């Protein structure tokens, strides 16, 4: 009688573990692709800012309109502003990228 109880308990435990395993696998398969999570420029900065690098930093296309550049600048700057715990260096690079995209600079390089 005890053996039948132990076998029944083992089968119930196995079934429960399989159920949770299937649920975990389904959730794993339905997750978004990892490339969709990388929306910001990942990498070091070039010695002199190029238009391509500026577009990558702001997350816009090189041919974007000025209003889209301004919106992207505000979004990135809010996330990296020094008053909110961000870096002064990153804030200067973001500002330089905005100036480059709005053609307010002649590629003179960063202040740092």
CATH number at residue 71: 1.10.287.110
Is 63 found in the same domain as 87? yes
- Domain of 83 in residue numbering reads as 36-101
Same domain (yes/no): 71, 90: yes
Assigned domain for 107 exists: no
The verdict on residue 58 lying in a domain is: yes
What does the CA dihedral 67, 40, 24, 29 come to, rounded to 10 degrees? Answer: 80
Label residue 87 by pLDDT band (50, 70, 90): confident
In a shared domain, residues 77 and 26: no
pLDDT at 25 over 70: yes
40: three-class secondary structure by DSSP:
coil
Report the domain count for the chain: 2
User: pTM to 2 decimals?
Assistant: 0.56
In 23-88, where do the E strands start and end?
A: none
Instruction: Please check whether residues 42 and 81 belong to one and the same domain.
Output: yes
Average pLDDT over residues 50-73: 90
pLDDT of residue 98: 93
How many percent of the chain have pLDDT more than 90?
Answer: 40
In a domain, 50, yes or no: yes
pLDDT at 31: 80
Tens-digit pLDDT profile for residues 31-47 = 876 655 556 556 678 88
């Amino acid at each position: 009688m005890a053996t039948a109880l132990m076998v029944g308990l083992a089968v119930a435990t196995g079934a429960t573990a399989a159920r949770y395993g299937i649920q975990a696998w389904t959730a794993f398969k339905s997750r978004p692709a990892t490339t969709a999570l990388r929306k910001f420029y990942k990498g070091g900065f070039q010695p002199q800012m190029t238009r391509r690098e500026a577009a990558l930093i702001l997350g816009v296309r090189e041919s974007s309109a000025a209003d889209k550049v301004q919106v992207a600048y505000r979004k990135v700057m809010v996330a990296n502003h020094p008053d909110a715990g961000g870096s002064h260096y990153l804030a200067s690079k973001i500002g330089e990228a905005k100036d480059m995209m709005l053609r307010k600079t002649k590629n003179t390089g960063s202040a740092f």
